[in-house]
Amino acid sequence: MNFYIGFEITILVFVLLLQVSKLSKIRLFLKERKKRIPCFSRYPSVSIIIPCKGIDERLEENLNAVMCQDYPDYSVVFVTAEKDDPVYPVLSAFCERRKNTKLLVAGINPQRGQKVNNLLYALHDPIVQKAEIIAFMDSDCQPKPTWLREIVYPLLDHDVGITTGSQWYIPHSRNIVSWLRAMIGNIGGVPKYLSEKMVCGAAMAIRRETIEKIDIEKIWSMAISDDLSLAREILKMGLEIRFIPECLCYDYSDITLRDFFQWLWREVIILKVYAPHVWKTVFVFILPYLMVPVGISLLILSVFYRHLFIHGMIISALIPILTIGGIITALYFNDKRTALWAISGAVVGGFLSSITVLFSIFGKTITWRGIKYKLISNDKFFVLKED
């Protein structure tokens, strides 16, 4: 009995130290960031590429936010796979009303993921080729007016290969499923950009000369993931990946239960295929969430077997530790709503993520924007089905 109690307390202390370490890194990083104010002697020309498929929630608001950047010299290139995509007439009408915009149709290439194919096609456009900096953004994201300025500025340092922000979910309703995605994506996902050398395709920027040096055609020729495959090559060049917390792009959309599980599964499987070293380290962090139901079960069983009570109490102490960690993380990024939801949902979200990671050991297929893919390796996949 003493052995088991000692083991449980050891795990409890280990999890507490992990939480303190993570929160300390976030706090220190954000504190240092406050001292840095972008000051341009010259504004490099920028082209923003936005791949589109289907009509996202708040699409018009997102597009208007992109066009209201506090930056003097930039263009926006939208790209779809086909003209019969429902979003095409919306974008066409938008481009007619706005200067410095262009709409492209990339077509279908079964050897590439649809998003990657759209991006590669846009990179060959004359407007994009004239730009010194290429920025990438997703159509379901809404940037702040300073987003472009903040994400471009670090690229003036040629030791920085790519800059990245992240998608930050802020559902506009009380949809529990949408808030579970927010807690997993915001609390669990965004901090990884501080510790892991990763990039978010929803908000990133790179110098055109760097794209030419890494041979982007070769990297994306058989890829599904645009960001993780790009990050790997940047690190091979010995360049820095710079995370910019001011460059969060806000996603205000709601999702269904089916969309939630597709999103969560897709995130984990792509991580497994394109960043297996990170995927493997995740197993260390999922253990506390998997132990929480054990602790609760022991407390219930202690009604009949009193000797189980102390074990249930020790293990269940993980709940406040994990919850407080989630709340503080959200507050560090000034998101009081996610922090509020984390009081009741941080552990639930962590548990669902943990189960997904365990099942991903055997998984290879994902569904992305209506297309089902089977991922064999980071440069080989099959299209199984398109809705």
Q: How far apart are CA 319 and CA 288, in angstroms?
A: 9
Superfamily for 41-276? Spore Coat Polysaccharide Biosynthesis Protein SpsA; Chain A (3.90.550.10)
386 forms beta bridges with 371
Structure-token match 């099959």, residue found? 382
Task: For residue 135, give Cα distances in angstroms to 11, 132, 190.
Answer: 43, 10, 19
What phi and psi values does residue 372 have, to the nearest 5 degrees? Answer: -100, 125
Question: What's the confidence (pLDDT) of residue 66?
Answer: 96
Each of the 387 residues of the chain gets a pLDDT tens digit; together they read 577 788 888 888 888 888 888 888 788 777 766 656 677 888 999 999 999 999 998 999 999 999 999 999 899 999 999 999 999 999 999 999 998 999 999 998 887 888 999 999 999 999 999 999 999 999 999 999 999 999 999 999 999 999 999 999 998 888 899 999 998 988 887 777 777 678 999 999 999 999 999 888 888 888 888 998 899 899 999 999 999 988 999 999 999 999 999 999 999 999 999 889 889 988 888 888 888 998 899 889 888 888 888 888 988 888 888 888 888 888 888 888 888 888 878 888 889 999 999 999 999 999 988 888 888 888 788 887 665
Burial 337-364 (b: 16+ CB within 10 A, else e): ebbebbeebbbbbbbbbbebbeebeeee
- Please report, for the chain, the start and end positions of each structural domain, with discontinuous segments joined by +: 2-26+286-377, 41-276
pTM over 0.75: yes
Burial 292-302 (b: 16+ CB within 10 A, else e): beebeebbeeb
